[in-house]
Amino acid sequence: MHPTLAYLPSPRDGVWHLGAIPIRAYALCIIAGIVLAVWITERRWVARGGRRGTVSDIAVWAVVFGLVGGRLYHVLTDPELYFGAGRHPLDAFKVWQGGLGIWGAISLGGVGAWLGCRRRGIKLPPYADAAAPGIAVAQAVGRWGNWFNQELFGRPTTLPWGLKIDPGRPSTVPGAQAYHPTFLYESLWDLLLAAALVWADRRFKMGRGRVFALYVMGYTIGRVWIEALRIDTANHILGLRVNIWTSIIVFVGALIYFLRHPGPRETDVEPVPAAAAAAGEAPAGGATEDAEPAEPEAAGSIAPEPAADDLEVAEPGADAADHDAGDAAPAATPDAGLAEAAASTASPRPSAEPAAPDPDRASASAGDAGSPGAPDAAESEAETAVAGPAEGAAGPPASAPNNSARADRDGSGPLVGKGGTDHPTGVGSTRGDES
């Protein structure tokens, strides 16, 4: 078995041409990572109560600023690659050749995200919490661009997963056949970190930027030991690569933030313009104006109640008459009308010819008994039956029923209302509702 069969191969080409247009694998990996990050963040943002489409709008700001920041960090920390004798400063703009510093991308990308959030009235910490796992996944996918470019590998190794690098590439060691695949180490680390962030977020319901702080701490831990394996050109401070020092400083800052911002997850992460507009238009004026006219109607509907109360505390005789009239009014019949006429007549002499049943008269009798003046009317009828007709009255007592009926029909009697079930203002209708 050939010894090189145990090594991981590297792609022969990292660029394909579509006619005159070059298609670079490094760029495709970066784009794929961004797409996955936006998709994951969108799902997490909606699950936290945000609106669909918000993440993609803010991502436009974050991606543009992040690309610029990543390139600036790379150029500033490795200026000897672009400036000096035999160098071409314009090469600093050739992003497709590789060279994006993660810390510059995160820092300036965060500024872009802050601007996008501010335009939509959103606080940055909740958005950063939603984006943290997606950013880790984007880094895991983007690292495969280093594999296509055969760059940023580690020290030589004889491990079976060592990465085969073409001789003569930058940073290669003469005689070495394989190197630590640091791109693969970081890719796997980032995927594990993303899974850990999702688990911790669901388990502890973290918010207020703590998920993002946990991402920063987790990434920096992995970056320290992975960076220590790399042999590509880098500046050193006190014997350590600049990126290692940066990772240590950023880890401490993230830890301080994580400890100083406890608390539950935010429940209101994004304002809803439609709800805000509706709250400003209708409720204050419309609901009040609709409710005010209802008050007089309600007052009018309960106005008869005091009369019913007065009726209940009336004298015993009047109360009995009231109940008899109230019970008879809804079910008035011709026989009931004749019986009332005979009871109210002082003389038992029948009329010359039978009178036709008069519903109005029966209703009027019920109305008299059910009105507030019913006790006085009952007393006057009792006095008339004992003492005879009142002073000034003409004709024998037998004429009283005719006069009463005539007054009822003319509407000149002491009636409050017609009563009965056909007239809702009468006491009879109130009794029917109660039954």
Cα torsion at 119, 121, 125, 126 (round to 10°)? -120
Residue 152 lies inside a defined structural domain of this protein: yes
State which of 240, 258, 273 marks the end of a domain: 273
Question: Which tokens belong to 342?
Answer: 């005979």
Residue 86 lies inside a defined structural domain of this protein: yes
Give the per-residue pLDDT at 97.
Answer: 73
- Backbone angles phi and psi of 92, in degrees to 5: -65, -20
Does 96 have pLDDT greater than 50? yes
Q: Rounded to an integer, what distance in angstroms lies between the CA atom of residue 198 and that of residue 345?
A: 95
More confident call, 255 vs 349: 255
Q: Rounded to an integer, what distance in angstroms lies between the CA atom of residue 38 and that of residue 190?
A: 16
Does 347 have pLDDT greater than 90? no
Give the per-residue pLDDT at 99.
Answer: 82
Tell me the per-residue pLDDT of 264-291, one tens digit each, with 9 for 90 and over: 899 889 987 655 556 554 333 333 333 3
Give the per-residue pLDDT at 350.
Answer: 47
Give the per-residue pLDDT at 163.
Answer: 96
- Backbone angles phi and psi of 17, in degrees to 5: -115, 130
- Check whether residue 242 and residue 370 sit in a common domain: no
- Check whether residue 170 and residue 223 sit in a common domain: yes
More confident call, 429 vs 234: 234
Does 316 have pLDDT greater than 80? no
Tell me the per-residue pLDDT of 158-175, one tens digit each, with 9 for 90 and over: 999 999 999 988 899 998
Q: Report the length, in residues, of the chain.
A: 435
Choose from 85-94, 184-193, 263-272, 385-394 the range with maximum mean pLDDT: 184-193
Q: Rounded to an integer, what distance in angstroms lies between the CA atom of residue 377 and that of residue 318?
A: 9
Average of per-residue pLDDT values in the chain: 75
Q: Identify the domain containing residue 369 by its residue range.
A: 314-348+355-388+402-434
- Check whether residue 95 and residue 157 sit in a common domain: yes
- Check whether residue 224 and residue 168 sit in a common domain: yes
Does 410 have pLDDT greater than 90? no
Choose from 69-73, 254-258, 307-311 the range with maximum mean pLDDT: 254-258
Does 363 have pLDDT greater than 60? no
Give the per-residue pLDDT at 329.
Answer: 43
Q: Which of 28-42, 102-116, 336-350 has the lowest mean pLDDT?
A: 336-350
State which of 273, 293, 325 marks the end of a domain: 273
Choose from 90-94, 97-101, 119-123 the range with maximum mean pLDDT: 119-123
Give, in degrees to the nearest 5, the angle at Cα 73 between 165 and 256.
Answer: 110
Give the per-residue pLDDT at 79.
Answer: 87
Q: Rounded to an integer, what distance in angstroms lies between the CA atom of residue 132 and that of residue 194?
A: 8
Give, in degrees to the nearest 5, the angle at Cα 137 between 210 and 218.
Answer: 40
- Check whether residue 113 and residue 217 sit in a common domain: yes
pTM over 0.85: no
- Check whether residue 195 and residue 335 sit in a common domain: no
Number of domains in the chain: 2
Q: Rounded to an integer, what distance in angstroms lies between the CA atom of residue 241 and that of residue 255?
A: 22
State which of 240, 273, 306 marks the end of a domain: 273
- Check whether residue 320 and residue 262 sit in a common domain: no
Does 195 have pLDDT greater than 90? yes
Tell me the per-residue pLDDT of 27-78, one tens digit each, with 9 for 90 and over: 999 999 999 999 999 999 999 999 999 999 999 999 999 999 999 998 988 8
Give the per-residue pLDDT at 430.
Answer: 40
Cα torsion at 86, 92, 95, 101 (round to 10°)? 110
